[in-house]
Amino acid sequence: MQKELQKVKIGLIGLGTVGSGVFKTLQNFDNIEISKIAVRDIKKHRNIQGLDLSLITDDPYEIVNSPDIDIVTEVIGGINPAFDLISTALKNGKHIVTANKELLAKHGKELFTLAQENNRVILYEAAIAGGIPLIMPIKTVLSGNRINKIEAILNGTTNYILTKMDLQNASYNDVLKEAQELGYAEADPTGDVEGYDAAYKITTLATIVFGKRVKLENVYREGITKIRSQDMKAANDLGYKIKLIASGKIDENGKADVRVHPMLVAKKSTLAHIDYVTNAVSLSGHPIGDITLSGPGAGEFPTASSVVGDILTLVSEIGKSDNILPMMHCKHTVDADVINISDTINKYYISISARNNIGVIGKIGTICADNHISLASIVQKCVSDDNTADITVITEPVKECDMQKAAELIKQDGNKINSLIRVQI
């Protein structure tokens, strides 16, 4: 007589874009049963084939408190009520799969400590780069490497906007409106365009890669709202593309530099050719050298792919050991010493509007020299009808605080700084 298949029971919190993709994908697996689905609006019509409406509840605590559910999958995002729901689930002996990058960045330490105390696992492949396999490879096949540098495009909305600005020579506001109409940008795009989303992701990614906990408040963040079409053209003329880059470096003394900001990326770089909503993560270390993983960073099925992969990983291990997936447990015991942005070394692109007077370039050069800034190039282009010249400067690597001081002095001399953007070194 054939033994009845033991199904692992899943509780799904959230049935939006990602949750729907997870539900649809899990229908293909006979060893998994979705026992309960929590939604915000129980009366909302959902055009999902095979959805049993008796599974739906508007009380997520039915899931986290259920003695029958083995894995809680959270795809609602945000802090509240996700933090309390996951905390409760862990205390009740549930394993967790989440796509919640904000929650992990802000409360990862508490949640992973709680998981450790209750001998449970939190998996979060979808929280960093959508459908790109990243966390598990870093924890397993790349675990023998000392990775000391991350450069990544982790937000599809901003990458779409910058790509369209580049190709159409369009303004930020025009492309943002188009992106909103197409559904690539939210009605309130602040979380994306001001760099919050990418900052959440690089906080967790840097913590994993460097083996030290990075605190979100120590991550420098700057968005794309000040990028102009003129900057796009100037960057192209200089051999660069402008991208919103989430980066992390750690030096030989263990000091980390973790940040998110626009950057001029050399056209020969892989990241310069990552366009539209695609994400990519470049890692550098020993012995691997340089490796880039790229793919869809968001969307129903790409994100569901990572969520379901985590679920299946847990399903394959549940019942086999009292300590499952030890390589995925949090082992960070110390906080990273994160360098303040003012103490970092960078190259810069500067766009200046100045009166077309004799000696103006010399004055700019003198201000830079007085602040320990060496110039790689300085170019004056078109003089407008009001006798204003456009001057483009590329510096050699200099200290951020020196550059900011020089920028203030250049402005005090009657010039306007249109843009100050860091350049990939």
- What does residue 219 show for φ and ψ, rounded to 5 degrees? -95, 120
Helices (H), 130-171: 135-139, 156-168
Identified catalytic residue from 36, 101, 164, 201: 201
Q: E strands of 63-106, at which residues?
A: 71-74, 95-98
H/E run at residue 11: strand 8-13
**Following CA atoms 110, 113, 117, 120 in sequence, which dihedral angle do they give, to the nearest 10 degrees?**
100
Cβ distance 156 to 279 under 8 Å? yes
CA dihedral sign, ordered 170, 191, 259, 329: negative
Alpha carbons within 13 angstroms on the beta-carbon side of residue 336 total 31
Q: How far apart are CA 179 and CA 385, in angstroms?
A: 35
For residue 265, which of 149, 151, 129 has the smallest C-alpha distance? Answer: 151
Distances (CA, A) of 173 to 213, 315, 419: 37, 46, 16
| Ranges of H-type helices in 15-64 | 17-26, 61-64
Q: At what angle do helices 82-91 and 101-117 cross, to 10 degrees?
A: 20
Residue 201 annotated in active site: yes
* HSE of 281, CA atoms in CB hemisphere, 13 A: 26
The radius of gyration of the chain's CA atoms, rounded to the nearest angstrom, is 24
Q: Which long-range contacts (CB under 8 A, 24 or more apart) does 283-292 make?
A: 283/138, 283/142, 283/147, 283/149, 283/150, 283/209, 284/147, 284/148, 284/149, 284/150, 285/145, 285/146, 285/147, 285/148, 285/149, 286/145, 286/146, 286/148, 287/144, 287/145, 288/142, 288/145, 288/147, 291/142
Active centre residues (catalytic): 201
